[in-house]
Amino acid sequence: MKKQLTGSLAATAALLAIAGVVHAAPAELNIYGASAQYLYWNAQAKNYALNNLHCAAASDPKTVGGKHGLVVATDCSSTLVPINPATGKRDINIRYSGIASAEGPLSVSKQAPLDASLATGCNQANGERLMINDAGTAADVCKQVHIGTADVAGESLIQTSQGQLYGPRGGGDFTVALTGVDCSSLTPANTVVVPFGFFVNEAVKAKTCTAGLVGNYCADGDTTGNSQCDSAPGKGDGVCGAASTITNISREQAAIIFSGYASNWKDLGDYFNDLPVVACLRHAGSGTHAALDLTVMNNGWGANIATAEVPGQIWFNQGSSDEIKCVNGNSTANATGALIGAIGYADGDQATGVAGTSQNVKQLKYNGYYPTRTAIRNGLYDFYTDAWMYTNPANSATVNALADDLIAFAQLAENVPDAKKNYWAATSEMKFNRQADNGYPVFVGGGGMLP
């Protein structure tokens, strides 16, 4: 069952006003887990501090490695933020780290991480992880996690992977075998809908019709020739154009690629160029990976997702940014990328990071649509999940009141940050949505601001 929090926190706020958190540092709110949510909170944290905590000022995000962020807010009028004895004001640091979905509930439930290096020197029994420091220069300080984020329910993390930590860039052997993450001791809530999409290296090309059935794949030179581009009977042949970077992938094509069955792009049709397939996947524990497994690959009829690295053909990667580097052709021998037959998947708003850059990466449509907020909300695109945010009832009232307030803020459609409005939707505004991670979307009739 999806929990909807309300904004009524007056009793808790009154308690906090007299609680007196005595320390010389600002208050903290630490968010940890899903890699997809890193970009979201990078856009949302400052917005939340200014508009909901009513802070006089909030810094632009300080970031490290495309995985860790920090917003410093000062002189907040909300009583949810304890007074900083050093300044006499209500100051707060909002930290967020995007690693993998399993790491969110594992951290907030005070369990060990899948990757031990994430908590080196930290008190794991207190739910601490390495996060960004106050200077924003490195992820080298231990902080207790207050909100654990995941792109799927913890129980949906049932995948297995084996390979290098960072795929073609090495990083050491890393094996994950999950049977779900127990979240029974945590308080769950759904906030926003996480859009995922496919990304391809620009070297992957195919021939398509430039006249007639424009956009259809075609392979001139075989027995069917340009007749594949006919627009309608009696209108003659269309034109099969030159090969160009592909723009779309179907569910059937995704299933054969990410199961490891396709070794060459021509396995998918003679209209593709002759190029080995390089499938870039996330390691198990990733909500993006679980979403691919449950909504695209094996949702009652598909194929089993690959589980083991095949060097040069199948790579697993820790984070979304790592996987984009795999698609770009980065390797231990080539740190800047190469034109190869690579394809992968990530949160849809990664497109804002690859568009217009020198990277060899292009976002694809899936079954004819991009992962936009409108397409997801209105039943045109189904590669998405509902984001989860977990809190621990055992944490202090101060922490959980602030965390609950943040969750309630994120649940409102009007609070989706401007930078993400093309991609992310609030759960409450969905016209179609899943009732479970592995369920097909059904009509739910949500309201909201979009037509």
Q: Provide the pLDDT for residue 59.
A: 97
247, 363 Cβ separation under 8 angstroms? no
How do residues 191-221 score in pLDDT, each as one tens digit? 999 999 999 999 999 999 888 888 888 886 6
More confident residue, 362 or 300: 362
Helix axes of 10-19 and 397-410: crossing angle, nearest 10 degrees = 140
Q: Provide the pLDDT for residue 225.
A: 52
Q: Among 399, 180, 444, which residue's Cα sits nearest to residue 293? A: 180
Percent of the chain with pLDDT over 90: 78
How do residues 52-98 score in pLDDT, each as one tens digit? 999 999 999 999 999 999 999 999 999 999 999 888 999 999 999 99
Give 268's pLDDT tier (boundaries 50, 70, 90): very high
More confident residue, 25 or 412: 412
Give 48's pLDDT tier (boundaries 50, 70, 90): very high
* Domain segments of the chain as ranges: 10-156+177-194+385-443, 205-243
Average pLDDT in the 251-258 region?
A: 95
**DSSP state letters, 233-280:** TTS---EEEEEEE--EE-HHHHHHHHTT--SBGGGG-TTB-S-B-EEE
Question: Which stretch of DSSP H or E encloses residue 30?
Answer: strand 27-33
More confident residue, 319 or 171: 171
| Amino acid (one-letter) located at 312 | G
Q: Provide the pLDDT for residue 235.
A: 57
Give 448's pLDDT tier (boundaries 50, 70, 90): low
437, 294 Cβ separation under 8 angstroms? yes
How do residues 284-293 score in pLDDT, each as one tens digit? 999 999 999 9
Percent of the chain with pLDDT over 70: 90
More confident residue, 403 or 228: 403
CATH class of 10-156+177-194+385-443: alpha beta
At residue 9, does pLDDT exceed 70? no
Q: Provide the pLDDT for residue 300.
A: 61
Average pLDDT in the 262-274 region?
A: 95
90, 78 Cβ separation under 8 angstroms? yes
E-state strands within 289-433: 314-317, 342-347, 361-363, 365-366, 384-391, 425-426, 432-433
219, 270 Cβ separation under 8 angstroms? yes
Question: CB count, 10 Å around CB of 401?
Answer: 19
More confident residue, 224 or 42: 42
Picking from 46-50, 80-84, 117-121, 301-305, which range would have the lowest pLDDT averaged per residue?
Answer: 301-305
Q: How far apart are CA 426 and CA 444, in angstroms?
A: 13
**DSSP state letters, 63-78:** EETTTEEEEEEEEE--
Q: Provide the pLDDT for residue 15.
A: 32
Q: What is the pTM of this model?
A: 0.88
Picking from 38-42, 201-205, 232-236, 300-304, which range would have the lowest pLDDT averaged per residue?
Answer: 232-236
